[in-house]
Protein backbone atom coordinates (compact mmCIF):
# COMPACT_ATOMS: atom_id res chain seq x y z
CA UNK A 1 0.00 0.00 0.00
CA UNK A 2 1.21 3.49 -0.85
CA UNK A 3 0.20 6.79 0.73
CA UNK A 4 0.79 10.48 0.12
CA UNK A 5 0.84 12.71 3.18
CA UNK A 6 -1.60 15.61 2.91
CA UNK A 7 -1.89 18.35 5.51
CA UNK A 8 -4.77 16.54 7.24
CA UNK A 9 -3.85 12.89 6.74
CA UNK A 10 -2.89 10.23 4.21
CA UNK A 11 -4.28 9.70 0.71
CA UNK A 12 -4.10 6.09 -0.42
CA UNK A 13 -3.02 5.38 -4.00
CA UNK A 14 -1.78 2.60 -6.26
CA UNK A 15 0.39 2.63 -9.38
CA UNK A 16 0.34 -0.01 -12.13
CA UNK A 17 2.03 -0.16 -15.52
CA UNK A 18 5.40 0.91 -16.94
CA UNK A 19 7.22 3.58 -14.97
CA UNK A 20 8.11 5.52 -18.11
CA UNK A 21 4.58 5.50 -19.63
CA UNK A 22 2.23 8.51 -19.65
CA UNK A 23 0.17 8.74 -16.47
CA UNK A 24 -3.57 8.01 -16.40
CA UNK A 25 -5.39 8.94 -13.19
CA UNK A 26 -8.58 7.02 -12.32
CA UNK A 27 -11.06 8.56 -9.87
CA UNK A 28 -13.71 6.50 -8.09
CA UNK A 29 -17.44 7.04 -7.73
CA UNK A 30 -19.26 7.94 -4.52
CA UNK A 31 -19.26 4.95 -2.18
CA UNK A 32 -16.53 2.91 -3.89
CA UNK A 33 -12.74 2.82 -3.77
CA UNK A 34 -9.90 2.39 -6.23
CA UNK A 35 -10.86 -1.28 -6.66
CA UNK A 36 -13.82 -0.23 -8.81
CA UNK A 37 -11.32 0.09 -11.69
CA UNK A 38 -9.94 -3.45 -11.44
CA UNK A 39 -11.61 -4.43 -14.72
CA UNK A 40 -9.79 -1.66 -16.59
CA UNK A 41 -6.30 -1.94 -15.12
CA UNK A 42 -4.98 -4.85 -17.24
CA UNK A 43 -5.85 -3.06 -20.51
CA UNK A 44 -4.95 0.44 -19.36
CA UNK A 45 -1.62 -0.55 -17.83
CA UNK A 46 -0.41 -1.90 -21.16
CA UNK A 47 -0.18 1.70 -22.38
CA UNK A 48 -0.16 3.92 -19.27
CA UNK A 49 1.22 4.33 -15.80
CA UNK A 50 -2.16 3.92 -14.09
CA UNK A 51 -2.58 5.97 -10.93
CA UNK A 52 -5.63 5.05 -8.84
CA UNK A 53 -6.49 6.58 -5.50
CA UNK A 54 -9.18 6.44 -2.83
CA UNK A 55 -11.01 9.75 -2.75
CA UNK A 56 -10.94 11.47 0.66
CA UNK A 57 -13.52 9.79 2.90
CA UNK A 58 -13.28 6.48 1.03
CA UNK A 59 -11.27 3.29 1.26
CA UNK A 60 -7.94 3.67 3.07
CA UNK A 61 -7.69 7.42 2.57
CA UNK A 62 -8.12 10.08 5.22
CA UNK A 63 -11.55 10.85 6.65
CA UNK A 64 -11.83 14.44 7.79
CA UNK A 65 -14.75 16.47 9.07
CA UNK A 66 -17.30 17.39 6.40
CA UNK A 67 -18.88 18.73 4.43
CA UNK A 68 -16.41 18.39 1.59
CA UNK A 69 -16.44 20.26 -1.72
CA UNK A 70 -15.48 19.13 -5.21
CA UNK A 71 -12.83 21.86 -5.16
CA UNK A 72 -11.32 20.25 -2.05
CA UNK A 73 -11.33 16.83 -3.72
CA UNK A 74 -9.79 18.32 -6.87
CA UNK A 75 -7.05 19.93 -4.80
CA UNK A 76 -6.34 16.48 -3.32
CA UNK A 77 -5.69 15.21 -6.86
CA UNK A 78 -3.30 18.09 -7.55
CA UNK A 79 -1.51 17.40 -4.26
CA UNK A 80 -1.19 13.73 -5.23
CA UNK A 81 0.28 14.65 -8.62
CA UNK A 82 2.67 17.11 -7.00
CA UNK A 83 3.83 14.57 -4.42
CA UNK A 84 4.58 12.05 -7.18
CA UNK A 85 6.30 14.69 -9.39
CA UNK A 86 3.71 14.29 -12.15
CA UNK A 87 3.36 17.52 -14.12
CA UNK A 88 0.59 16.40 -16.50
CA UNK A 89 -1.69 13.38 -16.76
CA UNK A 90 -4.76 11.99 -18.41
CA UNK A 91 -7.74 11.83 -16.05
CA UNK A 92 -10.75 9.50 -16.06
CA UNK A 93 -13.42 9.83 -13.38
CA UNK A 94 -16.85 8.27 -12.94
CA UNK A 95 -19.87 9.90 -11.24
CA UNK A 96 -18.32 11.89 -8.37
CA UNK A 97 -14.98 11.25 -10.05
CA UNK A 98 -16.48 12.83 -13.16
CA UNK A 99 -17.33 15.95 -11.15
CA UNK A 100 -13.73 16.06 -9.94
CA UNK A 101 -12.62 15.75 -13.56
CA UNK A 102 -14.84 18.65 -14.58
CA UNK A 103 -13.39 20.80 -11.78
CA UNK A 104 -9.86 19.96 -12.91
CA UNK A 105 -10.74 20.74 -16.51
CA UNK A 106 -12.17 24.12 -15.51
CA UNK A 107 -9.60 25.16 -12.91
CA UNK A 108 -6.41 23.19 -13.60
CA UNK A 109 -6.51 22.42 -17.30
CA UNK A 110 -2.77 22.98 -17.58
CA UNK A 111 -2.27 19.74 -15.61
CA UNK A 112 -4.39 17.64 -17.98
CA UNK A 113 -3.60 15.98 -21.29
CA UNK A 114 -6.97 14.34 -22.01
CA UNK A 115 -10.07 14.10 -19.85
CA UNK A 116 -12.72 11.36 -19.63
CA UNK A 117 -15.86 11.85 -17.52
CA UNK A 118 -18.26 8.94 -17.13
CA UNK A 119 -21.80 8.52 -15.79
CA UNK A 120 -21.85 12.05 -14.45
CA UNK A 121 -23.43 15.46 -15.01
CA UNK A 122 -22.57 19.11 -14.53
CA UNK A 123 -25.06 19.01 -11.63
CA UNK A 124 -26.21 15.78 -9.99
CA UNK A 125 -29.48 15.88 -8.08
CA UNK A 126 -30.61 18.58 -5.68
CA UNK A 127 -30.68 19.18 -1.91
CA UNK A 128 -34.08 17.52 -1.61
CA UNK A 129 -32.44 14.28 -2.75
CA UNK A 130 -29.13 14.56 -0.94
CA UNK A 131 -30.05 16.05 2.45
CA UNK A 132 -32.23 13.17 3.68
CA UNK A 133 -29.52 10.69 2.69
CA UNK A 134 -26.87 12.69 4.54
CA UNK A 135 -29.06 12.94 7.63
CA UNK A 136 -29.83 9.21 7.60
CA UNK A 137 -26.20 8.18 7.20
CA UNK A 138 -25.01 10.49 9.97
CA UNK A 139 -27.78 9.25 12.26
CA UNK A 140 -27.67 5.51 11.57
CA UNK A 141 -24.02 5.00 10.65
CA UNK A 142 -23.00 1.55 9.44
CA UNK A 143 -26.60 0.31 9.40
CA UNK A 144 -27.43 3.03 6.88
CA UNK A 145 -24.43 2.09 4.77
CA UNK A 146 -25.57 -1.53 4.67
CA UNK A 147 -29.04 -0.42 3.57
CA UNK A 148 -27.52 1.79 0.87
CA UNK A 149 -25.51 -1.18 -0.38
CA UNK A 150 -28.68 -3.20 -0.91
CA UNK A 151 -30.30 -0.34 -2.82
CA UNK A 152 -27.17 0.34 -4.86
CA UNK A 153 -27.42 -2.96 -6.72
CA UNK A 154 -30.43 -1.69 -8.67
CA UNK A 155 -28.92 1.78 -9.21
CA UNK A 156 -25.47 0.69 -10.25
CA UNK A 157 -26.26 -2.32 -12.47
CA UNK A 158 -29.09 -3.47 -14.71
CA UNK A 159 -31.15 -6.42 -13.38
CA UNK A 160 -29.87 -8.80 -16.04
CA UNK A 161 -26.24 -7.96 -15.27
CA UNK A 162 -26.76 -8.39 -11.52
CA UNK A 163 -28.37 -11.78 -12.11
CA UNK A 164 -25.74 -12.98 -14.55
CA UNK A 165 -22.61 -11.56 -12.90
CA UNK A 166 -23.03 -11.65 -9.10
CA UNK A 167 -19.28 -12.22 -8.70
CA UNK A 168 -18.68 -8.78 -10.21
CA UNK A 169 -21.52 -7.01 -8.43
CA UNK A 170 -20.87 -8.10 -4.85
CA UNK A 171 -17.29 -6.79 -4.46
CA UNK A 172 -18.36 -3.38 -5.75
CA UNK A 173 -21.44 -3.01 -3.57
CA UNK A 174 -19.48 -4.30 -0.57
CA UNK A 175 -17.25 -1.25 -1.00
CA UNK A 176 -20.25 0.94 -0.19
CA UNK A 177 -21.06 -0.94 3.01
CA UNK A 178 -17.41 -0.59 4.08
CA UNK A 179 -17.24 3.17 3.43
CA UNK A 180 -16.96 5.47 6.45
CA UNK A 181 -20.43 6.91 7.16
CA UNK A 182 -19.00 10.33 7.99
CA UNK A 183 -16.77 10.25 4.90
CA UNK A 184 -19.69 9.19 2.72
CA UNK A 185 -21.95 11.94 4.08
CA UNK A 186 -19.22 14.54 3.59
CA UNK A 187 -18.81 13.47 -0.04
CA UNK A 188 -22.58 13.49 -0.59
CA UNK A 189 -22.46 17.16 0.35
CA UNK A 190 -19.69 17.76 -2.19
CA UNK A 191 -21.80 16.20 -4.94
CA UNK A 192 -24.91 18.06 -3.78
CA UNK A 193 -23.22 21.45 -3.96
CA UNK A 194 -21.35 21.03 -7.25
CA UNK A 195 -22.76 22.87 -10.26
CA UNK A 196 -20.59 23.35 -13.33
CA UNK A 197 -23.34 24.11 -15.85
CA UNK A 198 -22.16 27.68 -16.40
CA UNK A 199 -18.43 26.82 -16.47
CA UNK A 200 -18.16 23.91 -18.89
CA UNK A 201 -17.00 26.12 -21.76
CA UNK A 202 -13.78 26.73 -19.79
CA UNK A 203 -12.70 23.11 -20.33
CA UNK A 204 -10.01 23.06 -23.01
CA UNK A 205 -8.60 19.56 -22.63
CA UNK A 206 -9.79 17.02 -25.22
CA UNK A 207 -12.85 15.46 -23.62
CA UNK A 208 -14.69 12.15 -23.89
CA UNK A 209 -18.07 11.86 -22.14
CA UNK A 210 -19.39 8.35 -21.44
CA UNK A 211 -22.95 7.48 -20.42
CA UNK A 212 -24.98 4.40 -19.57
CA UNK A 213 -28.25 4.04 -21.47
CA UNK A 214 -29.97 2.58 -18.37
CA UNK A 215 -28.40 4.95 -15.83
CA UNK A 216 -31.14 6.40 -13.63
CA UNK A 217 -28.66 8.18 -11.34
CA UNK A 218 -26.99 10.27 -14.06
CA UNK A 219 -29.03 9.74 -17.25
CA UNK A 220 -27.54 10.24 -20.72
CA UNK A 221 -29.22 13.65 -20.92
CA UNK A 222 -26.73 15.00 -18.38
CA UNK A 223 -23.79 13.56 -20.30
CA UNK A 224 -25.06 15.01 -23.55
CA UNK A 225 -25.37 18.41 -21.85
CA UNK A 226 -21.66 18.28 -21.04
CA UNK A 227 -20.76 17.12 -24.54
CA UNK A 228 -22.73 19.96 -26.14
CA UNK A 229 -21.12 22.62 -23.96
CA UNK A 230 -17.47 21.61 -24.37
CA UNK A 231 -16.05 22.36 -27.78
CA UNK A 232 -14.97 19.24 -29.65
CA UNK A 233 -16.08 16.83 -26.93
CA UNK A 234 -16.77 13.23 -27.93
CA UNK A 235 -19.64 11.10 -26.65
CA UNK A 236 -20.08 7.36 -26.15
CA UNK A 237 -22.97 5.41 -24.65
CA UNK A 238 -23.10 1.81 -23.46
CA UNK A 239 -25.91 -0.48 -22.41
CA UNK A 240 -25.27 -0.13 -18.70
CA UNK A 241 -26.59 1.43 -15.55
CA UNK A 242 -24.49 3.73 -13.34
CA UNK A 243 -21.20 1.84 -13.22
CA UNK A 244 -20.66 1.50 -16.94
CA UNK A 245 -16.97 0.68 -16.53
CA UNK A 246 -17.91 -2.53 -14.71
CA UNK A 247 -20.96 -3.50 -16.74
CA UNK A 248 -19.56 -2.62 -20.18
CA UNK A 249 -16.15 -3.96 -19.20
CA UNK A 250 -13.88 -4.50 -22.19
CA UNK A 251 -15.97 -2.29 -24.50
CA UNK A 252 -15.65 0.59 -22.03
CA UNK A 253 -11.90 0.05 -21.73
CA UNK A 254 -11.45 -0.07 -25.49
CA UNK A 255 -13.38 3.15 -26.08
CA UNK A 256 -11.30 5.01 -23.51
CA UNK A 257 -8.08 3.63 -24.98
CA UNK A 258 -9.14 4.59 -28.50
CA UNK A 259 -9.70 8.15 -27.29
CA UNK A 260 -6.50 8.43 -25.29
CA UNK A 261 -4.37 6.83 -27.98
CA UNK A 262 -5.96 8.72 -30.92
CA UNK A 263 -7.18 5.57 -32.60
CA UNK A 264 -10.37 7.13 -33.97
pLDDT of residue 75: 98
pLDDT per residue over 173-217, tens digit each?
Answer: 999 999 999 999 999 999 999 999 999 999 999 999 999 999 999
pLDDT per residue over 4-31, tens digit each?
Answer: 999 999 999 999 999 999 999 999 999 9
When pLDDT is averaged across residues 90-97 and rounded to a whole number, the result is 98
pLDDT above 70 as % of the chain: 99
Helix (H, G, I), strand (E, B) or coil at 50: strand
Q: What are the C-alpha distances in Å from 120 to residues 10, 91, 95, 194?
A: 27, 14, 4, 12
pLDDT of residue 1: 80
Q: Would the pLDDT of 263 be above 90? A: no
pLDDT per residue over 34-90, tens digit each?
Answer: 999 999 999 999 999 999 999 999 999 999 999 999 999 999 999 999 999 999 999
pLDDT per residue over 44-53, tens digit each?
Answer: 999 999 999 9
pLDDT per residue over 122-142, tens digit each?
Answer: 999 999 999 999 999 999 999
Q: What is the DSSP string of 150-212?
A: HHHHHHHS-HHHHHH-HHHHHHHHHHHHHS-HHHHHHHHHHHHH---TTTGGG--S-EEEEEE
Give pTM, 2 decimals. 0.97
Domains of the chain: 2-260 (3.40.50.1820)
Q: Would the pLDDT of 264 be above 60? A: no
Amino acid sequence: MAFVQLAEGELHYRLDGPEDAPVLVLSNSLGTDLGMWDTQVPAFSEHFRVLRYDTRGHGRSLVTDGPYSIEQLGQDVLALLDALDIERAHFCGLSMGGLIGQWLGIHAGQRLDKLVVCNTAAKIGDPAMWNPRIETVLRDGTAAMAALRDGAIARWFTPEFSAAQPQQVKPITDMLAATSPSGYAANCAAVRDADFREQLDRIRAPLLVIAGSEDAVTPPSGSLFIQRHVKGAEYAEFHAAHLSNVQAGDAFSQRVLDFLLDRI
